[in-house]
Amino acid sequence: MSKTRVSCFAISLDGFGAGPGQNLENPLGVGAGELHNWYRPTATFRKMFGQDGGSTGIDNDFAKRSMEDMGAWILGRNMFGPVRGDWPDENWKGWWGPNPPYHVPVYVLTHYPRKPLEMEGGTCFILSPTAFMQPLIAPGKMLAKKMCVSVAVWQRSGNTSRRICSTNYTSPFRRS
């Protein structure tokens, strides 16, 4: 059975998951970097970016759990990048370089669709307002295992969360 979940979403005591004024120098918004001070030292986070070592305690347990059985991600557009409105060109391909740490399909919710971006390492960015609701994933391997779809948003997060919650969403990743 598939499951849609929000995992390892860090918020401040007053409820904020990202700071204001996101730009190239502040991908999380101003002042939000500290929200992830518990996450960056973990072995799970370091492994995601090809680094050895890291903490293996409770924080890492939660970090590790968040990545288990992951079949796809749903991101808000601002987590994908700082560009707003129309795309000036096709150059922006996320914050993470040629081999992003997802390694599965990533649905980017946006009113400004683009052609799917095939990245190294199995990540494919699908930029669309509705594609996450459709069974677009064809490869059998994606359908043959237990799936989770992780909702990860760090800017305009309330909007995206509300859309997920208010949609009669059934995962396209069911095993049948």
Residues 2/74, Cβ–Cβ less than 8 Å:
no
Q: Identify the CA nearest to 101 among candidates 117, 132, 122.
A: 122
18/34 Cα distance (integer angstroms): 10
Tokens representing residue 26 in the block: 């502040």
Instruction: Decide if residue 62 touches another protein (CB under 8 A).
Output: yes
With CB under 8 A as the contact rule, the residue among 82, 161, 169, 171 that binds another protein is 161
x-marked contacts with another protein along 14-53 as a string, rule CB under 8 A? xxxxxxx--------x-xx--x-xx--x------------
Tell me whether residue 58 or residue 135 sits nearer to another protein (CB atom): 58
Residue 99: CB minimum distance to another protein, A: 27
39/56 Cα distance (integer angstroms): 11
Tell me whether residue 94 or residue 163 sits nearer to another protein (CB atom): 163
- Edge-to-edge strand ranges of the sheet holding 3-5: 3-5, 148-152, 70-76, 105-109, 124-128, 117-118
For the chain, how big is the Rg over CA atoms in Å? 16
Instruction: Decide if residue 59 touches another protein (CB under 8 A).
Output: yes
Tell me whether residue 38 or residue 99 sits nearer to another protein (CB atom): 38
Kindly state the number of chain residues that form the binding site for another protein, as judged by CB under 8 A: 30
Residues that bind another protein (CB under 8 A): 9-12, 14-20, 29, 31-32, 35, 37-38, 41, 57-59, 62, 154-158, 161-162, 165
